[in-house]
Structure 1
Amino acid sequence: MPTTTLPPQHRSDVEILWNYNQLHHEPHPVDVGIGLGGHDFGVATYTADLYRAGTFPLIVFTGANAPTTVDRFPRGEAVHFRERAIDLGVPADAILVEPNATNTGENIDFTRALLKERGYLDSIKSVMLISRPYQQRRSYAICRKRWPEVEVICGSLPLALDDYVASIGDAERVINMLVGDTQRIWVYPAKGWAIEQDVPEAVRNAYSRLVDAGFTRRLLPA
């Protein structure tokens, strides 16, 4: 049975990765908000909150399905996120749906293609990526690499670590995702998929200790 309690012996290391993977950007007006698909409905909720606050006039939800989301979002992540945002008061005509992306690079590329197809691309000078909290840094680096012409800021539903774990309902899953996303910060630039970013020694050490403790389910092959 999953637990929502972080293992006390790993809390410090989890907090280090949690803080590192968030960029703490201050929301400000941009041309489009891009809600990245996944298992976390908080992305749709926060995107709707930001739209209602006037942060952007247009939303793109992007995402197909992963094995971990197909049961929860059988019509696709982006489609369900759109429905959630409409339930929260966002006008349907302010939302575009990109239903095919299966990774963050495709989220960016397919969103650009959709915006071009709909005649918006030339006017897009700034974007806000809305994602799971631990996905911010990776998403930022990928977007900067694949869409360098735009200003990029990132955001997530503002939750403390324990509250986020409770919302997901599985502490082990959150730790594994944190470890996997941290690894991608240096692996993706080496593959040409993202810009380089500084990784402090404290982050690398915390990552290594969590890997040694067995939180390896989301690691890429060596």
Structure 2
Amino acid sequence: MITARDWEDARVLWDFQRMGHEPRACSVGVGLGSHDLGVADVTAELYRRGLVPLVVFTGATSPTTRARMPRGEAVHYRERAVELGVPEDAILVEPRARNTGENIRFSRDLLAERGTPVDSVLLVSKPYEERRAYATARKLWPAAEFVCASAPLDLPAYAESVGDPRLVLDMLVGAVQRLLLYPARGFMIELPVPLPVTTAYERLRERGFVGRLVAIPAPGTS
């Protein structure tokens, strides 16, 4: 059962993850693979608005997406974007990435191999992973400037669209945990996490929203 207190805490994490960037013209749009086809919808809309001349969709599959996206996240995103009017020759597919770091690195390398100059990226993710995606991209692609974008939904509307509120809360908790742990592991830059966010995060962990946490190495191990 998800209580009113749980929803209040989840909203704190949700609001924190949103970067509040205003979409603007960039060299390329990169849609990060996930279970959420809404990422493809937002990326397609940004293309139709003329904000990017080229789109990269990146992502293989995961336990969460294998059944619903059997051809791979990036491939399903591409198919969706084409349905929404994005020309096929304006889309690149990066089909190997299995985590956010690989999404960024493999997209960066693909564009470099094509000789595509990139100084700015419209980075499209799920709403509750904007800040995590931004911190990862800043670490792994320091030569580029990043503008974050996601579906303009509030938490209740997004949870309803996904159809699995507990999954959304698990993901919110997991995204904050990575912001706390991953800078020390070299996976992302360090961003301040305010006390109200860490307090809400700890309460949700104690309530059992731990389905997307990563293991913490024991002291003395890597």
TM-score range, shorter chain: over 0.9
Identity, in percent, stands at 54
- Once the two structures are overlaid, the 10-residue window that deviates more, 7-16 or 179-188, is 7-16
After superposition, the C-alpha distances for 1:78-118 in whole angstroms (9 at most, x for unaligned) are: 00000000000000000000000001111111111111222
Aligned to 1:72: 68
**Amino acid in structure 1 at the alignment position of 2:132:** R
- Choose from 170, 173, 191 the match for 2:185: 191
Cα distance in 1 between the residues matched to 2:46 and 2:37: 15
2: CA distance, partners of 1:52 / 1:36: 18
Q: What's the CA shift string for 1:103-142, capped at 9, x where partnerless?
A: 111111111111122221xx21000110001111111001
| SS of 1:96 mapped into structure 2 | strand
Q: Does 1:206 align with 2:200?
A: yes
Structure 1: tracts of 5 or more residues without a match: none
Equivalent position of 2:92 in the other structure: 96
Larger RCO, structure (CA 8 Å, separation 6 or more): 1
CA–CA distance in 2 between the matches of 1:208 and 1:104? Answer: 23
Q: Find the counterpart in structure 1 of residue 38 from structure 2.
A: 42
State yes or no: 1:219 paired with 2:188.
no
Correspondence for 2:134: 140
Match of 2:6 among 10, 21, 28: 10
Query: Is 2:30 the counterpart of 1:58?
Result: no
Give the secondary-structure state (helix, strand or coil) at the position aligned to 2:92: strand
- 2:14 & 2:125 partners in 1: Cα distance? 14
Letter in 1 for 2:148: C
TM-score by length of 2: 0.95
**CA deviation after TM superposition for structure 1 residue 7, in Å:** 2.9
SS in 2 for 1:23: coil
Cα deviation for residue 214 of structure 1 reads: 0.7
Output the amino acid matched with 1:31.
S
Question: Secondary structure in 2 aligned to 1:220?
Answer: coil
* Equivalent residue number for residue 116 of structure 1: 112
The amino acid across from 1:134 in the alignment is: Y
Shift of 1:207: 0.3
- Give 1:158's match in structure 2, choosing from 152, 157, 167: 152
Give 1:73 shift: 0.6
Amino acid at match of 2:214: L
Corresponding residue number in structure 1 for 2:220: none
Give the partner amino acid of 2:193.
V
Of residues 102, 105, 112, the one that matches 1:106 is: 102
Deviations 1:14-46 (A, max 9, x none): 110000011011000000000000000000000
Give the letter for the 1:39 counterpart.
H
CA RMSD of aligned residues (A): 1.0
- Provide runs of 4+ in structure 1 moved above 3 Å: none
- For residue 219 of structure 1, give the secondary structure of its aligned residue in structure 2: coil
| Partner Cα distance (1:165, 1:35) in 2 | 20
Q: Which residue of 1 aligns with 2:219?
A: none
Q: TM-score, normalised by structure 1?
A: 0.95
SS of 1:69 mapped into structure 2: coil
Q: Secondary structure at the match of 1:153?
A: strand
